[in-house]
């Protein structure tokens, strides 16, 4: 019995059904035309204040972190751990020198959607988490060993595996010292444990 001949339409449908379907490839945010660090919030839900960009860029470049958002997270944890060892007066001294005025007309006014305003390095220093910010003001200074300091940075910031906590800490220290007077630099050094103090001096 002769095989039935397919009509051109049937053959076309069968060919289309057998053709492999390619999975769509989602372009990274950075590849989308017009995306800048300050406008990336529209795609990620997170924004970075333009006044913080130079500081965070230093942290990113010196540490080898993937992006500015990792740099911000690491910076806040390093700052938080530093503050935990310092007196309230010393914390305020540092905050005064990290105060950078917000550019007039800047529409990007928050670091996160549901946290206090973060438009200056000072805001990162004081912590954008309101609970942590409050606790830092009421509890006495803690004694933190160097290995604990580094462990906290690694764990609390979700530090990527390719960057050591020592390198991340040194990057934050270096960017921070660029903003501080020698008096503040020495004041901070007095609160740091041995290995962390050495990283601070080298940064």
Cα–Cα nearest to 74, from 95, 88, 60: 60
Break the chain into its structural domains and give their ranges: 53-104+114-202
| Cα–Cα dist 35/63, whole Å | 23
Count CB atoms within 10 A of the CB of residue 189. Answer: 13
Lookup: tokens for 35: 């995306």
Exposure pattern of 5-24 as b/e (b: 16+ CB <10 Å)?
A: eeeeeeeeeeeeeeeeeeee
Predicted TM-score of the model (pTM): 0.68
> What is the per-residue pLDDT for 10?
52
For 53-104+114-202, which CATH class? mainly alpha
In angstroms, what CA-CA distances link 63 with 75, 107, 155? 11, 29, 16
Angle at 99 between CA 107 and CA 122, to 5 degrees: 80
> What is the per-residue pLDDT for 7?
56
Those residues whose C-beta lies under 8 Å from the C-beta of residue 143, and which sit 6 or more positions away, are: 85
Helix H or strand E segment including 135: helix 130-138
> What is the per-residue pLDDT for 32?
29
> What is the per-residue pLDDT for 126?
86
| pLDDT one digit per residue (tens) for the chain, 203 residues | 555 555 554 554 444 445 444 443 333 433 323 334 443 443 344 555 544 557 888 899 999 999 888 999 999 999 999 999 999 999 999 999 987 543 333 344 444 333 344 567 888 898 878 888 888 888 899 999 999 999 999 999 999 999 999 999 999 999 999 999 999 999 999 999 999 999 999 99
């Amino acid at each position: 019995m002769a095989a039935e001949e397919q009509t051109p339409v049937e053959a076309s449908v069968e060919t289309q059904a057998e053709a492999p379907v390619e999975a769509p490839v989602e372009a990274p945010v950075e590849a989308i035309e017009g995306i800048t660090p300050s406008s990336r919030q529209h795609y990620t839900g997170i924004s970075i204040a333009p006044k913080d960009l130079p500081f965070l860029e230093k942290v990113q470049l010196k540490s080898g972190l993937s992006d500015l958002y990792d740099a911000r997270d690491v910076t806040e944890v390093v700052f938080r751990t530093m503050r935990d060892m310092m007196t309230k007066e010393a914390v305020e001294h540092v905050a005064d020198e990290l105060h950078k005025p917000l550019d007039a007309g800047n529409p990007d006014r928050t670091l996160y959607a549901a946290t206090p305003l973060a438009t200056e390095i000072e805001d990162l220093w004081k912590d954008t988490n309101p609970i942590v910010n409050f606790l830092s003001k009421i509890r006495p200074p803690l004694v933190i060993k160097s290995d604990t300091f580094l462990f906290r940075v690694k764990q609390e910031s979700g530090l990527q595996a390719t960057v050591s906590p020592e390198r991340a800490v040194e990057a934050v220290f270096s960017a921070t010292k660029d903003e501080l007077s020698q008096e503040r630099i020495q004041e901070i050094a007095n609160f740091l444990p041995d290995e962390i103090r050495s990283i601070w001096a080298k940064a």
